[in-house]
Structure 1
Amino acid sequence: MELTKDSAIEFPCDFPIKAMGLSTDPIENIFTNIARKHFPHMKSFNIKRQESSGGNYISITIIMEALNREQLDNVYRDLSAHKKIMMTL
């Protein structure tokens, strides 16, 4: 395991990443395409979907097997830059 100087996270680790957007947008497809780009070693993703009470928004959470901090930074950067992704956690 690798413990980085800037983080208390030990790598590799399972790390949940959440993206939110309008339920009418293909948020899950956008998220999984970005995830595949940054986590090519993962063959499948554990995906959790949650719609808002009014059905207007959706959140998608994927548990990523992060190998290093750079992977996490890059996936967050790409998700945040996408115009259909309203928020990431």
Structure 2
Amino acid sequence: MNTKFDELLDFPCEFTYKIMAIARHDLADDVVSVVQQHAPGDYTTETKASSKGNYHSVTIRVVVQDKDHVETLYARLATIDGVRHVL
């Protein structure tokens, strides 16, 4: 990735990820599991269903250490089954 996170953020900092995926009951658990691999800690998530209930969005806040950490989490979160977008 060729991002400018290092120019825009003062690290370490809290960074919010929003994961949008096909609706399933264990999506938030999978998100926390991936985040735990790269930034161990206690996390709470917020899950919202789309208007028709076909999709869920999971929001999680993570303390990231540098630009590479942000980009690694984006890439890894995108590999979760059913994920359509990581914002």
TM range (shorter): 0.7 to 0.9
Displacement of 1:26 in angstroms is 2.6
Whole-Å separation in 1 of the counterparts to 2:49 and 2:26: 13
Whole-Å separation in 1 of the counterparts to 2:16 and 2:59: 6
Deviations 1:7-61 (A, max 9, x none): 2110111110011111136321221111001102x2x113111111111110000
**TM-score of the two chains, using structure 1 as the length reference:** 0.82
**TM-score of the two chains, using structure 2 as the length reference:** 0.83
Q: Which residue of 2 aligns with 1:36?
A: 36
Number of residues of Structure 1 aligned to a counterpart in Structure 2:
84
Match of 1:86 among 76, 84, 87: 84
Identity across the alignment (%): 24
Whole-Å separation in 2 of the counterparts to 1:83 and 1:31: 10
| Residue range with higher mean Cα deviation, 63-72 or 79-88 | 79-88
State the superposition RMSD in angstroms: 1.9
Whole-Å separation in 1 of the counterparts to 2:7 and 2:79: 23
Q: Which residue of 2 aligns with 1:47?
A: 45
Q: Which residue of 2 aligns with 1:15?
A: 15
Amino acid at match of 1:80: A
Q: Which runs of 5+ in 1 are unaligned?
A: none
Whole-Å separation in 2 of the counterparts to 1:77 and 1:27: 16
Whole-Å separation in 1 of the counterparts to 2:5 and 2:60: 26
Report if the CA contact (8 A) 1:50-1:59 is conserved. yes
